[in-house]
């Protein structure tokens, strides 16, 4: 099969890569923060996908947008734009994700938001991505509590706007409960239980890397652990409910913006959170601004193998 565009042959054997294929707007630091935990092969895959995406649109350089597109694909699976979703389902997804995103912006100890999207990927109908400010290995109790609130925020947003709850939040609840349990049992963060760990972890060599939990506490303690886990979840559920209840209009605005644009970046979410309109966002600067629009020029070029368009830069609207 013939490729539509020719990719210039380069000598990759030299260990210094010339950067004239990279657009000025590529921010490696941002990419690095969003790809922590990637293996070498994942990173190679990411760069490959970005280059392919640039070639797909006949670009002379690889832009940040291409890297973002590639990163999302490697991280969350390819977009499933062909998936059939009812209008109602889409609205529920938008409200659910808006709940996560608004809390991520408003809670003081949360990780900064990166983007929120209602384009289905893999098994997920929507996604809210946060970006660690630095490569963190230690988290404070306040941070973890805010994280529990954010996880519960999707379900709470559905509850206070639509009045009903869908099954879409199942994974969120599991993760929130798991986090609360680890705070109590592994990290000694519960005042009532004290700075102790509960349950010994043992790696069973014969069962591969499966980890077995051993109970090393009494039934009475088990009961108190459950109460503490429940308290962490309920307290942060109440906190999320208070914030989203107070800012219900912003929650609805954010959901509307998501329905209209499918994906919002951090800046756009922040603008809605402080009640600013989205329209007067500054256009892209640097080399990216000088590049021609991404649409293929002729009708013949519009036909080909080109898979669905990646999200176009919203900042250029």
Binding site for Zn ion (CB under 5 A): 154, 172
Nearer to Zn ion among residue 64 and residue 157 (C-beta): 157
CB of 79 to Zn ion, least distance (A): 18
Active-site position among 79, 97, 145, 228: 97
Beta bridge partners of 22: 62
To the nearest 10°, the Cα dihedral for 176, 191, 132, 244?
60
**Strand ordering across the sheet containing 127-130:** 127-130, 113-117, 263-265
279 noted as active-site residue = no
Strands 113-117 and 211-214: unpaired
Output the smallest distance, CB 270 to Zn ion, in A.
20
**Closer by beta carbon to Zn ion, 154 or else 310:** 154
Considering the complex, what minimum distance in angstroms separates the CB of residue 143 from Zn ion? 19
CB 106 within 8 A of CB 100: no
Q: 154 or 311, CB closer to Zn ion? A: 154
Smallest gap from Cβ 124 to Zn ion, in A, equals 8
Nearer to Zn ion, 155 or 294 (CB): 155
Instruction: Give 42: exposed, middle or buried? Use CB within 10 Å, 0-12, 13-18, 19+.
Output: middle
**Which residues neighbour 261 within 8 Å (Cβ) at sequence distance 6 or greater?**
268, 314
Q: Give the residue with the Cβ less far from Zn ion, 50 or 119.
A: 119
* β strands within 138-275, DSSP E: 200-203, 211-214, 263-265
CB of 139 to Zn ion, least distance (A): 20
Number of C-beta neighbours around residue 241 at 10 A: 17
Going from the C-alpha of 298 to that of each of 230, 289, 304, the distances in angstroms are 60, 22, 11
Active site residues: 97
């Amino acid at each position: 099969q013939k490729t539509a565009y020719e990719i210039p042959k380069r000598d990759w054997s030299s260990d210094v890569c010339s950067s004239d294929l990279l657009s000025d707007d590529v921010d490696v630091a941002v990419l690095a923060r969003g790809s922590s935990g990637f293996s070498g092969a994942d990173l190679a895959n990411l760069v490959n996908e970005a280059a392919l995406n640039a070639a797909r649109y006949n670009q002379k350089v690889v832009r940040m947008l291409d890297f973002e597109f590639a990163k999302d694909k490697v991280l969350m699976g390819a977009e499933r734009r062909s998936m059939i979703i009812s209008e109602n389902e889409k609205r529920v997804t938008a409200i659910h994700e808006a709940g996560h995103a608004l809390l991520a912006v408003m809670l003081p100890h949360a990780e900064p938001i990166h983007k929120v999207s209602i384009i289905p990927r893999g098994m997920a109908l929507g996604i809210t991505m946060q970006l660690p400010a630095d490569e963190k290995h230690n988290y404070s109790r306040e941070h973890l509590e805010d994280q529990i609130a954010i996880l519960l925020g999707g379900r709470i947003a559905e509850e206070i706007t639509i009045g009903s709850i869908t099954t879409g939040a199942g994974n969120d609840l599991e993760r929130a409960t798991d986090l609360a349990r680890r705070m109590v049992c592994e990290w000694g963060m519960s005042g009532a239980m004290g700075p102790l760990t509960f349950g010994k972890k043992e790696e069973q060599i014969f069962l591969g890397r499966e980890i077995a939990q051993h109970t090393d506490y009494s039934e009475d303690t088990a009961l108190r652990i459950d109460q503490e886990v429940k308290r962490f979840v309920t307290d942060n559920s109440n906190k999320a409910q208070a914030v989203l209840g107070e800012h219900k209009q912003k929650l609805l605005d954010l959901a509307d913006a998501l329905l209209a644009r499918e994906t919002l970046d951090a800046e756009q979410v922040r603008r809605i959170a402080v009640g600013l309109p989205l329209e007067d966002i500054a256009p892209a600067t640097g080399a990216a601004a000088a590049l021609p629009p991404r649409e293929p020029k002729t009708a013949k070029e519009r036909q080909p193998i080109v898979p669905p368009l990646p999200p176009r830069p919203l900042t250029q609207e």
